[in-house]
Amino acid sequence: MIMLNQRSKYLQIAFNRSLDEVKGMIATLPASEKIIIEAGTPLIKRYGKKGITALKDWWEEKLQKPGYIVADLKCMDRGAREVETVAEAGASAATCLGLAPIETINEFIRECEKAGIDSMVDMMNVEFPFEILQKLKKLPAVVVLHRGVDENEKNREKQIPLDQIHRIKGTYGKVLISVAGGETTRDVVRTFFNDSDIAVIWRSFYEAPENTAQLAQDFLKLVK
């Protein structure tokens, strides 16, 4: 199983278009190990686990070796069952909602370790990610700080709590931090500057799939 390197920075690109289009988009990506491919929630709900397997196969073909695939499950209940399914489909990591019951998150993290994949806890709409982390039996591999798309569009005041990154890393040294919800190159620069390990982007790729190659190269320059 491929695991993330603590020292490296990563660019995570979420794919949400139809499988046909995604295939073309992945083919034009630069073959870089710093790119993480994400099967977005809408894509999973549309195609199920075969969507994840397809993304994994295409990315492997491009990289010429197995790549890192995130299944954005947004697990809310039945942690064990969902993790089993996506691990089987070939994902290297799965996400669980920080809003889920603590029992579910615990079960999710345990099950991820058992299946040998990274666990990511998505803190969308969680006011104090710290409170959730404190209650957990074990730490997840990655904490995702996230602004939802719907909230972003309708309410510009809410911000990604970048100041939380240092606090979380200071307290729990081992976890990686991923930041989702920014879209411009400026957002990405700021994210890395604030010490996050992974920057998640999707909208510019979703809106202009024909520019995938150019966009990916622009963003990759920011990932040191």
Partner 1 sequence: MQIQNNKNKFNPFSLVIIVLFIAFSINPILGGVLIVAIIFFLVKNPKSLTTYFSNYLQMTSKLQNTLTENNPDIPKELSTNAQPITPANIFNVLSKKVRLEKRKKYLHVALNSTLEEAGEIISQLPASDRILIEAGTPLIKIYGTEAISRIKTLAPAGAYIVADNKCTDLAAREVKMMANAGANASTCLGVAPIETIDSFIEECQKFNIDSMIDMMNVENALSVLKKLKKLPDVVMLHRGVDETELSTEKQIPFYQIKQIKGNYDVLVAVAGGDTIREAQRAIFNDADIVVVWKNFYQSSAETAKLAESFLQEIK
Toward partner 1, which CB reaches closer, 82 or 197?
82
Closest distance between partner 1 and the C-beta of residue 113, in Å?
A: 16
Closest distance between partner 1 and the C-beta of residue 141, in Å?
A: 20
Toward partner 1, which CB reaches closer, 150 or 163?
150
Give the burial class of 172: count Cβ atoms within 10 A of its Cβ; 0-12 exposed, 13-18 middle, 19 or more buried. middle
Report how many residues bind partner 1 under the rule CB under 8 A: 38
Give the whole-angstrom CA distance, residue 92 versus residue 139. Answer: 17
Residue type, 149: V
Tell which positions 7-66 bind partner 1, by CB under 8 A: 16, 41-42, 44-51
Tokens for 149, please give them.
């798309």
Stretch that binds partner 1, among 5-13, 59-67, 94-102, 208-216 (CB under 8 A): 94-102
- Residue 82 binds partner 1, judged by CB under 8 A: yes
Beta carbons of 53 and 81 less than 8 angstroms apart: no
Query: Considering only CA atoms, which of 167, 163, 95 is closest in space to residue 134?
Result: 167
**Which helix or strand (DSSP H or E) is residue 118 part of?**
strand 118-122
What binding mask, one character per residue, do residues 125-164 give for partner 1 by CB under 8 A, x or -?
A: x----------------------xxxx-xxx---------
Closest distance between partner 1 and the C-beta of residue 73, in Å?
A: 6
Give the whole-angstrom CA distance, residue 212 versus residue 24. Answer: 9
Helices (H), the chain: 19-28, 41-47, 49-63, 79-89, 102-115, 129-135, 149-154, 163-171, 185-193, 203-207, 212-222
What binding mask, one character per residue, do residues 165-204 give for partner 1 by CB under 8 A, x or -?
A: ----------------------------------------
Q: In this chain, which of 29, 53, 56, 85 binds partner 1, going by CB under 8 A?
A: 85
Q: How many CB atoms lie within 10 A of CB 192?
A: 18
Q: Give the C-alpha distances (Å, rounded to integers) separating 57 from 25, 31, 170, 176, 207.
A: 14, 14, 37, 26, 24
Toward partner 1, which CB reaches closer, 4 or 100?
100
Residues that bind partner 1 (CB under 8 A): 16, 41-42, 44-51, 73-74, 76-79, 81-82, 85-86, 97, 99-101, 103-104, 106-107, 124-125, 148-151, 153-155
